[in-house]
Amino acid sequence: MNRLPSEWRRLYAPTVPGSDATAQADLIDGTQLVDAQGRVRALVLQLGRPADWRALSRLWQGVQLDLAWPAPAIAVSGKDGHQLWFSLAQPVPVAQARALLTALQARYLGDVAAARVDLWPMTDASAPQGVRHAAVIPAEPDRPEHWSAFVAPDLAPIFNDTPWLDLPPNLEGQAELLARLVSISPDEWEEAQAQLGVTRAAPPTPTAAPPEHRTPATPAEPQHSPTGPHTDPRRFLLDVMNNEAIEMHLRIEAAKALLPLAPPN
């Protein structure tokens, strides 16, 4: 039996599946990376154009040493880069996922041109639920003999010049690589947000004014505590953008992310 779909779902499906044999036998489907509420458990960061494992390894090592996170999966894209696949034990809204990925990029890849870095999930009005995620790994190649695949850490450097496999990856080997990985716990996620300066604001109360009439929250307003839970991506980004306690580059990224989330006139 092919173990890869079940290992994939264990790490990256928005809801951790049970032991249903039929579900585990299904093919891997990238649409399963985003749930009905627009939440994700898979966070993907790619460095490419060209691939550079030496630079990306700083991030791979840094999240383990500085944030005490479990190691993310390493993949070659089949095109022009290396990817890191992070797994969360509990799903989070897309805005939270992107805010933290942006913070990781700033901390560990600040000297790398931003155009070489891709972060998923990303907002995309043309995609289902307005969210586009990374292509599944492994997948049928767009070009012959250019397969994407998960790779072991000690093999990642050899794919700098050719970030792909010439032959289809062994599915059992892919499953074995994923089987060694564990998800980031909710406590580890919260601690990383605090350490990286990525804070969360509480959702508006039922008696609050409609969003279009509400004054953006500031750290001094208790009804929008930056440490409370948050389920509205636009509200979250507004609070990040207007929170003077957050680093300026993160506030700028939040402002950029708000563009596709702006309400219609």
Cis peptide before 121 (omega within 30 of 0): yes
SS3 261: helix
120-124, 204-208, 250-254, range with the lowest pLDDT: 204-208
Residue 147 gets which letter from DSSP?
B
Cβ distance 221 to 78 under 8 Å?
A: no
Residue 98 tokens, joined = 């992107």
To 10 degrees, what angle do helices 4-12 and 171-179 make? Answer: 30
In the CATH hierarchy, which top-level class contains the domain 4-187?
alpha beta
Q: Which candidate, 87, 75, 81, 76, places its Cα nearest to that of 11? A: 87
pLDDT digits (tens, 9 = 90+) for 243-262: 666 666 676 666 666 665 45
SS3 237: helix
This prediction has a pTM of: 0.73
Mean pLDDT within 155-162: 96
pLDDT digits (tens, 9 = 90+) for 76-112: 999 999 999 999 999 999 999 999 999 999 999 999 9
Q: Which residues contact 25 (CB under 8 A, 6 or more apart)?
A: 1, 2, 5
**Rounded (to 5) percent helix, strand, coil in the chain:** 40, 15, 45
Quote the CA–CA distance of 113 and 220 in Å, as a whole number: 35
Question: What's the pLDDT at 258?
Answer: 61
Question: What's the pLDDT at 260?
Answer: 54
Phi, psi torsion values for 169, nearest 5 degrees: -65, 150
In the chain, where are the structural domains located? 4-187, 199-261
Place of tokens 């931003």: 114
Place of tokens 């034990």: 89
